[in-house]
Structure 1
């Protein structure tokens, strides 16, 4: 019980630190969002009118209190789920802007992560069991080569070949003319628009799972309990799946939980390449436009998601492997 209480205490302390940093970082960055918006409306070469800047600050509700009072007010608004108005999509609230992009990213990146994890773990386990074989060499060298590539570069290549050259898939957006909802025309358009971004992620994402699972399982195959299982005459299938692969999978559980927690941040470069209406594209726009309320909400959502996933992984690890609880004690 002490193990789980300690993990939960660490989670609360880290959460407070994340919330505090999320408040401080945007306020320490140079630049004035009001000036940026005035320049965008008046034109890049137009003279900056300070009266217009002050009016824009008043319209955006830019705080003028001390940093401490801003922090207290920030915590109060955070408890009520109020993140203010988005500068980029003014006058829409930040929560409404995020709500429109939330499910696009969750569906796209979650499916890609789950398929990558399952495929990578299976390939890595089989490569370890058949180590030094042709299959092991192909998987290891191939994954190492693909690991040097960037998802956005692969996305550009897929976009050029299958989008512009062949015209098999749409080149941007999440859907076209269908009415959003649980209807077949919309689902068909959403799948066709998400195929290339998901493929760009699926080509690169499994690499870590393949190499991690392979290396961990090879170390487990040299343990005494594996030799004992073989000496008992157990079938190779049982030794591989019930003994070696089961223990080698434990470290991947933590990594998979953290990967799922990072889903809320989206795939910024991939979503930007395909102009996909997800959280990653929103974060890129928020950084470019210095949209501090939107950037704060996205950063907080992403970090809290990672923290929650890490907490679940720690608790699950303690259940799956009792040695972790004994070592903590």
Structure 2
């Protein structure tokens, strides 16, 4: 379809722009990572090795277009450079170590909160004017509560006061990561409280937005016509109202999935959870520019990919986009 082809070409251009900006920003910033690394390793590094270190970071005296080509070649090979804070560990290794934790926690909870929120939003819209409207003030309050505040309150009540859940970490200290039940059960146990935090802090927004859109759609003429024809209420609600009301939420959900890679930084920091958000926090603290650069690139590409997926889903949900093609 022409519509999808245009979208793919657009996102390819945006991805190229993100890659290029990721290449230019560290070269336009004052200072360089090599000087910072040498300062930290003062007395433990041969000054003659500085040129080799600079080359490993892609900072050479070569023309800019040559550096850019080397940068793209390295990216194609999965090389994101070396970390300063964890020198000489490759950035790609650190990112790959943090991604599963964030995707496992934030990814799953984002999907759960979206499903609960949109489903409950449709029900509340259908039953508008009933006692279920009393839930709206509580949902509005939850939607206004910041993630970090929700996390701190739950930690204080459920961990510090009641002792039901651990305060921090992704698993019990001292355990060796593996596929044995002891480690898996520890990961699940430590992930319950962060998961509850994210779901409670995010699902209310989906409920309110889906309810409002569904109420608007229920007032459309085609829904009234479907009801006048005597179609079953469930069919009217799902096929006519919810299917059209969910379209704006698809974009929001795609952006949320893209943001999953970035993690809920403050939540991960509060729980000392070793995901992408916590790793980015550590990179900022350590002035680890290569690691920040690699994480920002991964997050940018994830958001771009999520938007592309949303446009593909739009093709199947909204027939008007197929007519444009």
What is the TM-score of this pair, normalised by structure 1? 0.89
Aligned mates of 1:167, 1:57 — CA distance in 2? 53
- Cα deviation, residue 273, structure 1: 0.7
Aligned mates of 2:30, 2:162 — CA distance in 1? 45
The one of 209, 227, 231 aligned to 2:228: 231
Aligned mates of 1:142, 1:31 — CA distance in 2? 50
Matched, 1:319 2:316: yes
Aligned mates of 1:188, 1:133 — CA distance in 2? 42
Check whether the contact 2:243–2:317 (CA below 8 A) recurs between aligned residues: no
Give the direction of change, closer, same or farther, for the CA distance of 1:54–1:286 in structure 2 (3 Å limit): farther
Deviates more, 1:249-258 or 1:109-118: 249-258
Q: Extract structure 1 runs of 4+ deviating beyond 4 A.
A: 34-42, 51-58
Check whether the contact 1:36–1:289 (CA below 8 A) recurs between aligned residues: no
Number of aligned residue pairs:
320
Partner of 1:141: 137
Matched, 1:212 2:202: no
- Give ranges in structure 1 of 5+ residues lacking alignment: 43-48
Q: How does 1:84-163 map to 2 (within 5 A)?
A: 84-138=81-135, 140-163=136-159
Give the direction of change, closer, same or farther, for the CA distance of 1:56–1:12 in structure 2 (3 Å limit): same
Partner of 2:23: 23
- Cα deviation, residue 41, structure 1: 6.2
Aligned mates of 2:47, 2:155 — CA distance in 1? 41
Give the direction of change, closer, same or farther, for the CA distance of 1:141–1:321 in structure 2 (3 Å limit): same
Matched, 1:266 2:263: yes
Deviates more, 1:80-89 or 1:174-183: 174-183
The one of 203, 223, 227 aligned to 2:200: 203
Partner of 1:9: 9
Aligned mates of 1:127, 1:29 — CA distance in 2? 51
Matched, 1:286 2:283: yes
Partner of 1:71: 68
1:205 is paired with a residue whose SS is: helix
Aligned mates of 2:168, 2:281 — CA distance in 1? 16
The one of 139, 160, 163 aligned to 1:164: 160
Aligned mates of 1:124, 1:250 — CA distance in 2? 14
Deviates more, 1:59-68 or 1:151-160: 59-68
Aligned mates of 1:199, 1:237 — CA distance in 2? 31
RMSD: 2.2
Deviations 1:14-45 (A, max 9, x none): 11111111222333344544555566567xxx
